[in-house]
Structure 1
Amino acid sequence: MRAILHVCTTCRGMVPAEDPDAPRPGAVLHQALTDAPPEGVEIRPVECLSACSQGCAVSLSGAGKWSYVYGRLTPEDAADIATGAAAYAASSDGIVPWRERPTIFRKQSLARIPPQE
C-alpha cells in the first residue's frame, strides 16, 4: 500500500501575504509536490490539519506505520518533503533512521502517532 502525504492547502504560512488574493502557501506547496510526486507516495490535499500557528503543515501515514505531522514548512521545502516522504514510503513501519531524514523532518515534527491496528 502506498504512503499518503496530506498537504494542508489552506495554510497561510508564517508570514502574512501582502496580496490577499495571492494563492495560500499551503496550496502552492501542494501544487509543487503534485508536480513531482515522490516514489510510492500519493499526494492528497486537505483543508486543515489544525496546525495553523505552525505555518504550512503536512502529514504522512500508511497502513501499519507510524504517522507524522510536520509544520513550519514553506513551498521552498517541497524537495526535502518529497525526499522524506519517499524514505517513509520505503520503510516497513514508518520509522526512517534519524540520519536519513531531511533536516526539516528531524527538527519540525509536530506529532508522531502510533499505527492503528
Structure 2
Amino acid sequence: MSDDAVLYVCTTCRMEGDAPDGPRAGARLYDALRAASSREGLRIEPVECLSVCKRPCTVAVASGDRWTYVYGDLDPVTSARVILDGVGLYAGTPDGIVPWRERPQEFRKGVVARIPPFPPRAA
C-alpha cells in the first residue's frame, strides 16, 4: 500500500443468535480480520460503535486524502478475506474510489456511506 489505511471494525455489533455472555459478532469479525491480515500499511482498529446497528457487522475504511467508506451486512465468519481484498483495491487508488464493477459483491450491496476526504486547512 502506498499510503497507510485504517480499517475500523465495530466490535459492539450484535447479530441475532449472539450469546449474551459471549463475544459479539463484531468482535468475532475483528478477530478474524486480525488473523487473516498480513498487509503492510493497514491498521485494523476496533471501535465501540459505528452507529449502524441495523446492518451488523460494520466496518469503515479510511486513508489520508481518500474517500472514507462504511460497509455493513458483513458476515463475522466468512467476510474477512473479502474485506481485506476490498481494502487492497481501495488502497490501490489515488482517491479511494474503486470502480463499481471491480468492488466485491459484499461492498456493492453493503455500502452504507461514502464520506469525502477531509478538506485541507486554509493557509
When the two structures are superposed, what TM-score results if normalisation uses the length of structure 1? 0.92
Q: Report which of the two has the higher share of strand.
A: 1
- 1:52 is aligned to 2:44: no
Which one-letter code corresponds to 2:33 in the other structure?
L
Superposed CA offset, 1:40-83 (max 9, x none): 32111100000011111000111100101001111121111111
Q: Give the share of equivalent positions with the same residue, in percent.
A: 51
Structure 1: tracts of 5 or more residues without a match? none
Distance 2:64 2:20 in 1: 38
Which of the pair has more CA radius of gyration?
Answer: 2
Question: 1:20-59 alignment to 2 at 5 Å?
Answer: 20-37=20-37, 39=39, 40-59=41-60
- Partners of 2:54 and 2:102 in 1: CA distance: 27
Paired residues in the alignment total 115
The residue matched to 1:88 in structure 2 has which SS?
helix
**Per residue, is there more helix in 1 or in 2?**
1
* Corresponding position of 1:10: 12
- The residue that corresponds to 1:68 in the other structure is 69
Within the alignment, does 1:93 sit opposite 2:95 as a pair? yes
Alpha-carbon deviation of 1:107? 1.0
Tell me whether 58-67 or 89-98 shows the greater mean CA deviation: 89-98
**SS of the residue aligned with 2:20?**
coil
Looking at structure 2, the residues matched to 113 and 38 of structure 1 have their Cα atoms a distance apart, in angstroms, of: 26
Q: Alpha carbon RMSD of aligned pairs, Å?
A: 1.2
